[in-house]
A and B are shown apart, each in its own frame.
Chain A
Amino acid sequence: DGGITQSPKYLFRKEGQNVTLSCEQNLNHDAMYWYRQDPGQGLRLIYYSQIVNDFQKGDIAEGYSVSREKKESFPLTVTSAQKNPTAFYLCASSRAFSGNTGELFFGEGSRLTVL
């Protein structure tokens, strides 16, 4: 089945530790995204990547880092510099720009809790 796989689904972290969330897609999509959802909030864009080896900051990139070494993979690292990292993280992908009507395909999410 084509889709987006995020892992782990649940993750606990101690303050001061970096943690990396995995996102893999087999939809052959060029663009990938990371969003964060907090209770009562919409989805806020952290980073996005239009093509391999290139990525752009979204609205709330501070304290996060990403890489895009392969088309299928877009891992997100939540660093110790992120002041409030406890949240639900969603990875998404979409077709290349020329065919992009905005429809995103989302993974099932990763819930990060900082202890």
Chain B
Amino acid sequence: DQQVKQNSPSLSVQEGRISILNCDYTNSMFDYFLWYKKYPAEGPTFLISISSIKDKNEDGRFTVFLNKSAKHLSLHIVPSQPGDSAVYFCAAKGAGSYQLTFGKGTKLSVIP
């Protein structure tokens, strides 16, 4: 049973436009959510996170929105750049837990 779902395996966006990556979760005990970016044959790198007590967190071109009632979060990238082309993983953890539960990832392609 997948507790973190990224229903879009891939997404293509024109350079300069907004990229919106979506993530849904089922476990109401999750209290912290993270986005990771991964290039081929490399380890993921941390991008941005949000606590369950917030509904928005912004870092430069990256903004994460959390809708707790819908158990949904999204990552917005504005403006999108070709270097943003990568696989993006959504992850979640519960309070007091060491374990991150990852989604299957969304491959973003930013077209010049």
Contacts and interface: CB of A to CB of B under 8 A. Distances in A.
A42 B104 contact: yes
Interface in A41-67: 41-45, 48, 50, 56, 58
Nearest to A104: B100
Interface residues of B, number: 23
B41 interface: yes
Contact of B32 (A35, A40, A101): A101
B47 to A, nearest CB: 10
Interface in B3-53: 4, 9, 32, 34, 41-46, 49, 51
A92 interface: yes
A106 B102 contact: no
B32 to A, nearest CB: 5
A16 to B, nearest CB: 27
B89 A42 contact: yes
Contact of A106 (B44, B49, B104): B44
Contact of B41 (A100, A102, A109): A109
Nearest to A97: B98
Interface pairs A-B: 3 shortest CB-CB: A106-B43, A42-B102, A102-B93
Given A42-B102, A102-B49, A109-B43, 9 more contacts: A6-B43, A33-B98, A40-B104, A41-B104, A58-B99, A102-B91, A105-B46, A106-B45, A108-B42
